[in-house]
Amino acid sequence: MGELFESLREQVDDSAREAVSAYLREIPEYGQTPIVAAKRDDQAGMLGFAVFIRSRSFALAPAGLPLGEQDLSTISSAGRRRAELGLTVLAQHRVLGLHTRLMLQEIHRAAGPDDGDDLLRMVGWFGAQGVRAKRAYLHGYADGVSRSRRLAARAELLARTLLADEPLEPMQPVEPRLEALVAPRYVVSVLRIPNPPVPEQTRSAMVEAILDTPKPAALPAWLEPGELALLTPGDRSAALRHLRSATAVLGRACQVACAPGESGRLAETLTLARKAALVAPLEERPARLHAVADLFVEMAVANAPEIDAWLAAFARRLADGPDLVSTLHAYYRHDMNRVAASAALGIHPRTLDYRLQRARKVTGLSPGSTLGVRMLSTAVARLLARESPW
């Protein structure tokens, strides 16, 4: 008994160095900051902290002892240091996830066939104490952000905490300008930007565009370099205004969609909004903020590859005509109102009629028929959601 813990302790230095290499390799921000030059024995430096957290974990776990107040204070100080160095909220959540994955890999790699009991003890301890360590780290990071008065980072940290259904205690006290945004219900919006990745400078400018008001009305958070989430206590129209401010900075086609949800259950709401954004039309300036009710057919088709491929083959017929895709998109977006659709396209209603007749000729379906609406509206929506034409 105890061989697993002894093996883990012997590998602390090597494992810590491997972890630092992984941070620098997988999280670009970490390779661009002064922390890479921190001394090895400095617990605020990456390597020093990686050694510390492993040493304490493998010393406490065999006896089932929890992290002490001094341990949590050291962890909190590391989070505060990351904020002082200007590392973003996105980078912090990615490094916490990477740290968890690496630690579990190290534990399982060191376990032998006779270490079953110790393995369960180690993993159980890591699960319980890992939650406490994460909260301490984020509390320190939030404190560092607050001291630097970086509203954008504070807002992103609060948004990510809400989206993960995690307690708000590490965020307390909430930045006064953001207190009104802690609400029982939100519209969770997702803005998805296909490749190439959005540069960090542009991402920061988009967040600033959303928060650049005397009293911010929404909480933005980058989930990935090409995916922005927005929590708005108001309705869809308020969320759309903020998203348009962000897309004006972006200057590229993107996809937006949303789902309403209750605080404490926003993780599942976010999942739904992300799935909807994947099938929303690509637009430089979103005409509307699509909800699941607008896209549920496209979401179902996208999850059925055979049907999606069949629909793609059908949609290719629309290439044989003058602007048929944009015409049908406008026609359906305006509830088949000829006057509104032609005005949106900047063409005469008779020109619209000609194009609709052309669509009927090349597809064999009348755009205004029941089957035509089902087939053509879905085909056009799937076409506009893709990064490249079918």
Question: pTM of the full predicted structure?
Answer: 0.69
Query: How does pLDDT run across 173-192, given as a tens digit for each residue?
Result: 777 888 889 999 999 999 99
Residue 316: pLDDT band with limits 50, 70, 90: confident
| Higher-confidence position of 171 and 133 | 133
The last residue of one of the domains, among 293, 323, 347, is: 293
Average pLDDT value for residue range 36-55: 69
Q: Which residues contact 169 (CB under 8 A, 6 or more apart)?
A: 135, 139
| 310 and 288, same domain (yes or no) | no
| 9 and 117, same domain (yes or no) | yes
| 279 and 312, same domain (yes or no) | no
Name the domain count of the chain.
3
Average pLDDT value for residue range 48-71: 93
Is 159 a domain residue?
Answer: no
Task: Provide the residue range defining the domain that includes 205.
Answer: 183-293
| 276 and 379, same domain (yes or no) | no
pLDDT score at 231: 97
The last residue of one of the domains, among 122, 148, 174, is: 148
Is 228 a domain residue?
Answer: yes
| 49 and 11, same domain (yes or no) | yes
* Contacts made by residues 96-104, CB under 8 angstroms, sequence distance 24+: 96/134, 96/137, 96/138, 98/22, 98/23, 98/26, 98/27, 99/19, 99/53, 100/130, 102/15, 102/18, 102/19, 102/22, 103/54, 103/57, 103/130
Residue 34: pLDDT band with limits 50, 70, 90: low
Q: Which residue has the tokens 């965020």?
A: 171
Query: How does pLDDT run across 364-389, given as a tens digit for each residue?
Result: 999 999 999 999 999 999 988 875 43
